[in-house]
Amino acid sequence: MVSESVDIVNAFALLTNFVILPAIAYGSQLALGALAVTLVYSVLRFSNFAQGDSMAFGTMLVILLSGYLISRGWTITGIPTALLVIPVAIIGMAVYLLTMDRLIYRHYRKIKAKSITIVMTSIGVMFITGGIVRFVLGASAQRFEDGERFIFSVREFKAFTGLEQGIALKTSQFLTITIAVLLVAFVFYFLQKTKTGKAMRAYSDNKELALLSGINPDKVVQITWLLVAGLTTIAGALYGLDKGFAPQQYHLLLLPIFASVIVGGIGSPLGAIAGAFLIAFSEALLTYAYKKFLIYLLPLSMHPTSLVQLIGTEYKYAISFVILVIVLLIKPTGLFKGKVIVDE
Amino acid sequence: MAYLEGNNLVAAYGPVPILHECSVEVEKGELAVIVGPNGAGKSTAMKVLLGMLEASSGSVIFDGQDITHLSTQERISLGLAFVPQTKNVFTSMTVQENLEMGGFLRDDDIKHTIQEVYDLFPILYEKRKQNAGELSGGQRQQVAFGRAMMTRPTVMLLDEPTAGVSPIVMDEIFSNILDLKNSGRAVLMVEQNAQQALNIADKGFVLVSGRNEHIGTGKELIADPEVRKKFLGG
């Protein structure tokens, strides 16, 4: 039954289910990735093009480890096995990133290469990493979530509230949002309050003076990669639980992640998070078909006949770019004033 | 043997030689000044003392110990401290955090030393929660001094501490420097304002093209007609 009068509650239940919740989850996943890019940019002074593929690498580890646990029957009912193996996957990711740093990036730091040179290097690392992932898991898409799929389903919600439109909260969405909040809080606490975190900020602010204060640059670099490993693996795993895993999809995630970082103000952790949600909500709001939503809100005579979709979902990556262009034209420093690296 | 001395230092940036057998030294409780024209190697001499640039020959002796081959960090933990001319504070961090970073190498309680810095520069206590980048030139310089003092150094090296500040602030900074010296530290500074610097200096080194042109007490150098004519404007 379609109601004939204006029905705000159902309209927003609909919007929550199809736009707001998915956008918050997607925004959280982007935010973690963007935070990783920001850390690398601030401390190691280059834009890490390998971020998307690194997230694929971390997710690969999660898939392999959870596959092993499932095959042995070592699972806990109701909890995605992927969640259990994340700590181990983070260690694996950290080993991989530190190895890459030792083999590749360290050399360019040592010879004080220009930032753009290291960026080009990271594109190489991107291809290597993406290649490893495709070699191990293949290029096709797969799902790896198990356990309970919903915290509450549409049917349960409808039965509970008596509304015509239901809201479902997927386990993956709930996990994404909860873990992202905790992780972001931890990273900010770490950077603002701990001695090591402050040393990272000091090193990012003024390398020479950090050295004069006795801060060990090698240690700062290592801690940075450890944080990046955590953020990257968790972001990748959560995105995969939510939307499934496909190497190409992860590779393309680089675009919205970079857009988030730049829109927010490059180098600013807070900006990266704000940017991520801006991008996620723009994508969700612009690609959603509003027909049903408007039917709830408008009198019968004004009901739309078309889908009322502003942009087709196949163009969603273009949205990141358009926002990027607008921000660069109007406020090049981003929403939160970022810092741009100048080669010495 | 002086408390800190650089003996016959030779150093180069890549193929460009900067220092030719240059020597400087400073005693505890003494203020020594390096003056000279632009490009004379004043800052370079300081970098060699700190291990930020390696000397191809010559030696750096600190408290009787040869530290020529120690890293900058090792020298800092021994008791050397450096205030660079520019970019000498962490602009995106608060005054308090700047001081904490200055004491990064220390494992003991640094609160007491932070309090000492606040006692010396009371304005910094008021601004302790502000980012150092938002402070005025003179206040920034105080943060820079404070940061360097956090390791409780016995020698402070200052690179043009009065560059780009107003005459009033300059007087204030010179008086801060005299305080540092009177607290028993050795202070070695590079200074553009040669006249004022030599006035308060116990010892002066006039560097030209990486060589010691004149050495003497501050008063001797000011009185020397040749130094006056060449470097102090007659």
> pLDDT by residue for chain B (234 residues), tens digit each?
789 999 999 998 888 889 998 999 999 999 999 998 888 888 899 999 999 898 899 999 999 999 999 998 899 989 999 999 889 999 999 999 999 999 998 889 999 999 999 998 999 999 999 999 999 888 999 999 999 999 999 999 999 998 878 888 888 889 889 988 998 999 999 988 888 889 899 999 998 888 888 888 888 888 888 888 877 765
Whether A2 shows a pLDDT value over 70: the answer reads no
CA of A219: how far to CAs of A46, A203, B74, in Å?
18, 11, 16
Q: Are strands B211-216 and B203-208 parallel, antiparallel or unpaired?
A: antiparallel
Are the C-beta atoms of residues A199 and A220 closer than 8 Å to each other? yes
For residue B81, the model assigns a pLDDT of 94
Q: List the structure tokens of B18.
A: 């900067």
Instruction: Tell me whether residue A288 is in a domain.
Output: no
For A214, the closest of B89, B100, B105 (CB atoms) is B105
**What φ, ψ does residue A312 adopt, rounded to 5°?**
-65, 145
A33 to each of A9, A227, A276, B164, how far by Cα in Å? Answer: 34, 11, 9, 42
User: What burial letters (b/e) apply to B152-174, b meaning 16+ CB within 10 Å?
Assistant: ebbbbbbbbbbeebeeebbebbb
Question: C-alpha angle B117/B152/B207, rounded to 5°?
Answer: 100
Any idea what the CATH number is for the domain that residue A87 is in? 1.10.3470
- Tens digit of each residue's pLDDT (9 = 90 or more) over A122-151: 999 999 999 999 999 999 998 888 877 888
Q: Which tokens hold the place of A204? A: 């990012």
Is residue A258 one of the residues assigned to a domain? no
Instruction: Kindly list the residues from chain B whose CB atom is less than 8 angstroms away from the CB atom of residue A212.
Output: 50, 72, 76, 82, 84, 148
CB B200 within 8 A of CB B35: no
Position A3 scores a pLDDT of 47
Tens-place pLDDT, residues A5-33? 678 888 889 999 999 999 999 999 999 99
Going from the C-alpha of A202 to that of each of A90, A144, B97, B104, the distances in angstroms are 26, 40, 9, 11
Q: Which residues of B touch A217 (CB under 8 A)?
A: none
B40, B209 contact by CB (below 8 A): yes
In a domain, A294, yes or no: no
Residues contacting residue A73 through CB under 8 Å, at least 6 positions apart: none
- Secondary structure string (H, E, C) spanning B137-152: HHHHHHHHHHHHHCCC
Q: How many residues does chain B have?
A: 234
Q: What's the pLDDT at A344?
A: 52
Inter-chain touch B101–A210, beta carbons under 8 Å:
yes
Output the CA angle A168-A172-A178, nearest 5 degrees: 100
Look at the block and give the residue holding tokens 């992202």: A180
> What is the arithmetic mean of pLDDT over A100-114?
94
- Domain enclosing residue A170, as ranges: 8-250
Instruction: Give the pLDDT of residue A1.
Output: 44
Q: Which residue type does A129 have?
A: T
Q: Are B7 and B67 in contact (CB under 8 A)?
A: no
The DSSP letter of residue A142 is: B
8-state DSSP, A338? -
pTM: 0.88
Put simply, the answer to whether A206 touches B90 (Cβ < 8 Å) is yes
H or E stretch at B46: helix B42-50
CB pairs under 8 A between A and B: 60
Distance (Å, whole) CA B70 – CA B76: 10
User: What's the number of domains chain A is made of?
Assistant: 1
Q: Which one of B82, B97, B150 has the shortest CB-CB distance to A198?
A: B97
Residue A207: C-alpha distances to residues A35, A106, A221 (Å): 21, 15, 12
**Could you give the maximum distance between any two Cα atoms of chain A, in Å?**
73
Angle at B172 between CA B169 and CA B173, to 5 degrees: 90
Return the structure tokens found at A288.
Answer: 């959603």
Angle A217-243/A171-193 helices, nearest 10 degrees? 170
Sheet with B211-216: strands ordered across: B80-83, B155-159, B186-190, B31-35, B203-208, B211-216
Is residue A329 in some structural domain? no
Tokens for A120, please give them. Answer: 């080009």
Mean local confidence (pLDDT), A143-165 = 85
Question: Which of A195, A209, A216 is opposite residue B87, by nearest beta carbon?
Answer: A209
Write down how long chain A is: 344
* pLDDT tens digits for range A248-257: 999 999 999 9
CA distance A266 to chain B (A): 14
Which chain A residue's Cα is nearest to B101?
A213
Which residues of chain A make contact with B150, given a CB cutoff of 8 A? 213
Amino acid at site A320 = S
Q: How close is the nearest chain A Cα to the Cα of B42, in Å?
A: 19
As a whole number, mean pLDDT of residues A194-200 equals: 95
CB atoms < 10 A from the CB of B89, how many? 27
Can you name the residues that pair with B10 across neighbouring β-strands?
B57
As a whole number of Å, the CA-based R_g of chain B is: 17
Nearest-Cα distance to chain B for A196, in Å, is 9
Return the pLDDT at B169: 86
Find the mean pLDDT for residues A288-312.
86
Q: Which residue of B has its CA nearest to A214?
A: B73
Residue of A nearest to B133 (CA): A205
CA-to-CA distance for A325 and B25, rounded, in angstroms?
Answer: 57
Q: Is B194 within 8 Å of B116 (Cβ atoms)? A: no
Q: Do B104 and A214 touch (CB under 8 A)?
A: yes
Query: Cβ contact (<8 Å) for A214 and B84?
Result: no
The answer to whether residue A328 is domain-embedded is no
Confidence check: pLDDT of A214 > 50? yes
Count Cα atoms within 13 angstroms, Cβ side, for A320.
21
